[in-house]
Amino acid sequence: MPPLRMSERRTSMLGAMLATLGPISMAIYTPAMPELVAAFHTTEAAVKMTLSLYFAGFSVAQLLAGPLSDAFGRRAATLLFVGIYMAGSLLSAFAPDIEWPLAGRLIQGIGASVGITVARAIVRDQFTGSEASRIMNLIGIMIAIGPAIAPTIGGLALAALGWQSVFFLLIGFGLMICLTVLAFMRETSTPDRRRALPGPLFRAYAELIREPRFVSASLVLGGSIGALYAQSTMLPFILIKIVGLSPTAFGMGMLMQSGSYFLGSVCLRMTSSRLHGDGSVRVGLGLLAISGVMIALSVQFVTPSYLSIMGPVAFLAFGLAFLTPHMTTSGLYPFPHIAGSASAMMGFIQMGGGFLGGVTASLIGMPLSAFGIIIPAMALIAVTSYVWFVRASRRAAQVTHSTL
């Protein structure tokens, strides 16, 4: 079947629903993490590992989800992986001991990996340039809403029905995605089953790794968005165990993070015509750098409180909204022929940053100290990677000019 074009609005809505699968699955679960320590008579490190394994499954499986969506189509790949996601949620919901959530969250992450991969791919299949950036920005606005309310919903479900209810909510979300894809999603690519073979698959990833603009853009996202994911392994323990918030209050308190991302996305939409792509990225990275410095200083010199922790996090989230759309479209632009694989590799690097940050936090052991070290370091990686991206883009432009 030849590829079909969807409207900007339909692409944005479907892309937002798919892209929120990963963040909602993470955010709705975080209020329950301290309670799982008591429920399974285990350690904080073991419960943190459930989130780290989710990151691992999410990041690595994207390398398979992307090529499969190129080979068999965006719709078929989405339905397959969301089915895997629901199986992992079911396994976690009926867990008798901590080993079951460890396995279930890994499987859940594998299934959720299709969300952001296909969301980016369907945008690249149909749109480029300012159109693509505009859609990615609109997806960002809608993404902010889901993770903003997810911790609140998770905290309320936890208080009313227990930790198992969180996983039943995720099963329901997976079913809703499947029904929406079947009813509204058109096939935007021309499936080619040869792309799932080992040879074409490895050649596609080799092509991506050899392109400095793609790697540097992905590292910008890996350091920035990865920091957002990495801190999710630390914030529940900092705000609940150290600051003293209840799980429900923690869920409500995370609205500052998601609200800041939402506000940043709205501000970007209002200023994008003046800032343009590169300007918006620089604004975002500037805010990210400020956030990193604030986090490092507050952990060292300020008694932990809700505002001392979440104030810098709000700066980070606001800055992310400015830099994400343009960096994503810039990284994917040279690869229309392997959009699924390119989106997958970008997501792998991005989520890999979150996974490594979470694992490092577990090794450090003390959540507050880990927060003050890891998040500023990841912000520094994002800034230096952008310097590399600018230089690589200039070299590519010179090569193109010389061949004309």
- pLDDT score at 144: 61
- Alpha carbon distance 218, 343 (integer Å): 10
Q: Is the pLDDT of residue 174 over 90?
A: yes
What is the sign of the dihedral through the CA atoms of 59, 63, 64 and 66?
Answer: positive
Q: Considering the domain boundaries, does residue 309 fall inside one? A: yes
In a domain, 365, yes or no: yes
Residue 158: CB atoms within 10 A of its CB come to: 24
Q: Which two tokens stand for residue 92?
A: 């976690």
- In the predicted model, is pLDDT for residue 404 greater than 60? no
Per DSSP, the residues of 239-298 read: IIIIS---HHHHHHHTHHHHHHHHHHHHHHHHHHHHHHHHHHHHHHHHHHHHHHHHHHHH
Backbone angles phi, psi at 137, to 5 degrees: -65, -40
Note whether residue 2 is domain-resident. no
Report the CATH number at residue 269. 1.20.1250.20
Q: Tell me, yes or no, whether 301 lies in a domain.
A: yes
What was the pLDDT predicted at 163? 80
Q: How many CB atoms lie within 10 A of CB 132?
A: 23
Q: What is the pLDDT of residue 147?
A: 63
Local confidence band at 145 (pLDDT 50, 70, 90 cut-offs) = low
pLDDT (mean) for 94-102: 85
User: Residue 87: exposed, middle, or buried by beta-carbon count in 10 A (0-12, 13-18, 19+)?
Assistant: middle
Task: Please report the pLDDT score of residue 148 as a whole number.
Answer: 62
Given a cut of 90, is residue 296 above it in pLDDT? yes
Work out the average pLDDT over 261-274. Answer: 83
Q: What is the pLDDT of residues 366-379, one digit of tens each?
A: 889 999 999 999 99
Give residue 18's pLDDT. 92
Contact 135, 6 (CB under 8 A): no
pLDDT above 70 as % of the chain: 95
322 lies in a domain? yes
Q: How far apart are CA 266 and CA 99, in angstroms?
A: 42
Crossing angle for the helix pair 44-72 and 198-209, to the nearest 10 degrees:
110
Residue 81 has pLDDT above 70, yes or no: yes
Quote the domain boundaries for residue 391: 8-403
Above 80 in pLDDT, residue 387?
A: yes
pLDDT in tens, 187-206: 888 888 887 788 888 888 88
pLDDT tier at 344, thresholds 50, 70, 90 = confident
Residue 283: inside a domain: yes
Mean predicted confidence (pLDDT) in 58-63: 84
Q: Which residue has the higher pLDDT, 214 or 340?
A: 214
CA-nearest of 178, 156, 316 to 251 is 156
| Range with the largest mean pLDDT of 123-127, 208-212, 331-335 | 208-212
Residue 146 reports pLDDT greater than 70: no
Virtual torsion, Cα 215, 361, 28, 86, nearest 10 deg = 70
Task: Out of 36-45, 55-64, 83-92, 355-364, give the one with best mean pLDDT.
Answer: 83-92
Residue 149, pLDDT > 60, answer yes
Which tens digits make up the pLDDT trace of 308-319?
999 999 999 899
Alpha carbons 13 and 134: distance in angstroms, whole number: 13
Query: In this structure, how many other beta carbons lie within 10 angstroms of the beta carbon of residue 38?
Result: 10
In angstroms, the CA 135 to CA 31 distance is 31
**Token pair of 121, please?**
């791919």
Residue 121 predicted with pLDDT over 70: yes
- On whether the CB atoms of residues 309 and 239 are closer than 8 A, the answer is yes
In a domain, 3, yes or no: no
Residue 13: how many other CB atoms lie within 10 Å:
17
Rounded average pLDDT over 128-135: 75
DSSP annotation of 6: P
Under a CB-based contact definition with an 8 Å cutoff, are residues 320 and 217 in contact?
no
Closest CA to 19 of 324, 230, 333, 381: 324
**Could you give the number of structural domains in the chain?**
1
- Reply yes or no on whether the pLDDT at 364 is more than 60: yes
pTM, to two decimals: 0.74
d(CA 25, CA 28): 6
Q: What radius of gyration, in Å, describes the C-alpha atoms of the chain? A: 20
| pLDDT band at residue 283 under the 50/70/90 scheme | very high
Query: For residue 259, what are the CA distances in angstroms to 1, 137, 230, 368?
Result: 41, 15, 19, 23
What are 186's two structure tokens? 């058109």
Q: What is the average pLDDT score of the chain?
A: 84
Q: Does some domain include residue 75?
A: yes
Predicted confidence at residue 220, as pLDDT, reads 93
Confidence of residue 381 (pLDDT cuts 50, 70, 90): very high
CA dist 216 and 71 (Å) reads 27
CB 382 within 8 A of CB 285: yes
